[in-house]
Chain A
Amino acid sequence: MPRLVRRLGWCAVAYAALAWLPWVASEYHTHVLVTSLYYVVLAIGWNLLAGYTGQFSLAHHTFAGVGAYTSALLVLYARVPLLVGIASGALVAATIGYGLGTLCLRMRAIYLALATWAFAESLRLLVTVEYQITRGDLGLAAPFLFSTPRPTPYYFVFLGLALAAILVAREIVDSRIGAYMRAIRDDEEAAAVMGVDTFKWKRFVFAVSAVFAAVAGGFQGHYVGLLSPTPMKFNEMAIIVVMVIVGGLRTFPGPIVGAVFIEVLSEALRAWGEVRMVLFALLVILIARGYPAGLVGIGRALGRRLAARIPALAAATSGRRG
């Protein structure tokens, strides 16, 4: 499989190109980078579900919580190794994601959004109420992955995770499954009568996106060291939606660009507090009205305009298309 080999090569190059950052960045900035990479994984997973398959789930952040709590609880109570805990979290999330996908099979847009939102709230309440096990709002101390809360070693893990998520998502999108997903999004009935097993693939994407979130959530839990139901609130989901839409819904790089952009902006405007959410909402409205393909779309349009001015570049791009 030469394409996969080439892509693995690109990932190695990207890893090497970005691995030096913690040496020049402060500890605080490294932490922002780690968090950005965490959101990159979440946003890519949600874009597969909402952007490519048209299933606007509002429970994506919940699966990060499922991953984090499953892993922390198993490590604490069953004394399993940390990586086994995270893998178990992914498995549990895949199962629940498959179940939620099954529940939503016959639901259209708004009903699916409502059902997944209700599911997310239920699970958050469950975590809050079952405080004997989860310690609820008091917070559950999750053991550190590297026996330190300092961000640098975690950066190397999350950089790898983000690149792995990009690679896996790209492989899915370029495979026949990617064609099924886009067909389902554009017209589910037409996809079905053209032979696509729409139920099977909708569930599949639900499960896969849940795994993305759970793996990211699992590692994140063992990085921050304290789990609480707060990140299972709707706010967290809203941030993911904002990231994907601002970056570019339905574009492949959209969630990557959006996650880093919004996380960095959010940190830069930390002094604004909750007002940031208003700003993000305005940004989403602006983008949705004027630039549906988000920052990536704007970038591509600028690139085309620039290429038109430079004849050599224009020849190169038009040659590729023809």
Chain B
Amino acid sequence: MTSAPGAPAGWLLETRGLTKRFGGLVAVDGLPLTLRAGEIRGLIGPNGSGKTTTVNLVSGLYRVDAGEIWLRGERIDRLAPHRITARGVARTFQIPKLFGNMTVLENALVPALAALDRGPARPAGDILGRARRLLELVTLDDKRHDVAKELSGGQSMLLQIARGLMVSPIHLFLMDEPFAGVHPTIKDTIMETILRMNREEGVTFLIVSHEMATLRRLCARVSVMHEGQLIAEGSFEEIANHTAVVEAYLGR
């Protein structure tokens, strides 16, 4: 890990005073978020509380207005999205964004092909092998020659996940509402994939979701956002008894 002044040891991801404004609206407001390497963290909050904006800031799609983002001791908030990806950050989108005219397998290969542009070539066999294994894991291997735009909503989410896991090396996976509107079997597949990649490869996850029951099975800790701010953080029990959280969800 490269040491930089003020870079704390131990955190995989740390945001300090992270702020994003849209006109007069402060979508993310001085957010301090810290993730330990290897944890699975939930990120919850009412609609419009700034969860997606946070994911967009960390993945580099939005430029921060104020604050800093540190990944493994390196400041990343001024980097272009592909450079952040190169440092081991993958993500999915709330509404799946696939390469619709490419096949399922080609979709999964894009991160590996992109890596060829910046580093030494990995053997093609390894890359293909990993893509096939991940597609198998998310139950899409049979469909690998199908065009991606023909997939259902749930399958699209699965492919986004497999594709994200092709980012190499992968340290942090940001998932924006992976369980929204997907069939229960697909939900199980997603949970299994998250747990397995976390256990086997030590991937850290930040999972935005409204599904408390599902999150409870995945995460020990959740962070709660409201109107762009972090209003609570802790175990499910702590969160459930937190007055600010209850108020945020019930409306003031």
Contact = CB atoms under 8 A, between A and B. Distances in A.
Question: Interface residues of A toward B: which range?
Answer: 20 to 34
A48 to B, nearest CB: 15
Given A180-B114, A183-B99, A186-B99, A195 B106 contact: no
Contacts of A185: 101
Interface string B66-81: 0000000000000011
Contacts of A196: 82, 110, 114, 117
A187 B97 contact: yes
A197 B85 CA distance: 10
B82 A195 contact: yes
A175 B106 CA distance: 13
Interface residues of B, number: 33
- In this complex, which of A183, A190, A195, A198 has the most chain B Cβ atoms within 10 angstroms of its Cβ? A195
A74 interface: no
B224 interface: no
A204 B206 CA distance: 35
A194 interface: yes
A192 B145 CA distance: 23
Interface in A132-186: 176, 179-180, 182-183, 185-186
A196 B166 CA distance: 13
Given A196-B82, A197-B82, A191 B117 contact: no
B75 to A, nearest CB: 19
A193 B81 contact: yes
Given A179-B106, A183-B99, A187-B98, A192 B82 contact: yes
Given A183-B99, A196-B82, A198-B82, A189 B61 contact: yes
Interface in B85-101: 85-86, 90-91, 93, 97-101
B85 A193 contact: yes
B141 to A, nearest CB: 15
A186 B111 contact: no
Chain A binding surface SS class:
helix
Nearest to B116: A176
A189 B97 contact: yes
Contacts of B93: 190
A67 B241 CA distance: 72
A315 to B, nearest CB: 19
B97 A190 contact: yes
- In this complex, which of B81, B164, B166 has the most chain A Cβ atoms within 10 angstroms of its Cβ? B81
B102 interface: yes
Nearest to A178: B113
Interface of A: 176, 179-180, 182-183, 185-187, 189-199, 250, 321
15 contacts: A176-B117, A180-B117, A182-B101, A182-B102, A183-B99, A183-B110, A186-B99, A187-B98, A187-B99, A192-B61, A193-B61, A193-B85, A194-B90, A195-B85, A196-B114
- Which 5 A-B residue pairings sit nearest by Cβ, starting from the closest? A195-B114, A195-B85, A192-B81, A186-B99, A190-B97
Interface of B: 59-61, 80-82, 84-86, 90-91, 93, 97-102, 106, 109-111, 113-118, 145, 163-164, 166-167
Given A192-B85, A195-B114, A199-B80, 7 more contacts: A176-B116, A182-B101, A182-B106, A191-B114, A193-B81, A194-B114, A195-B115
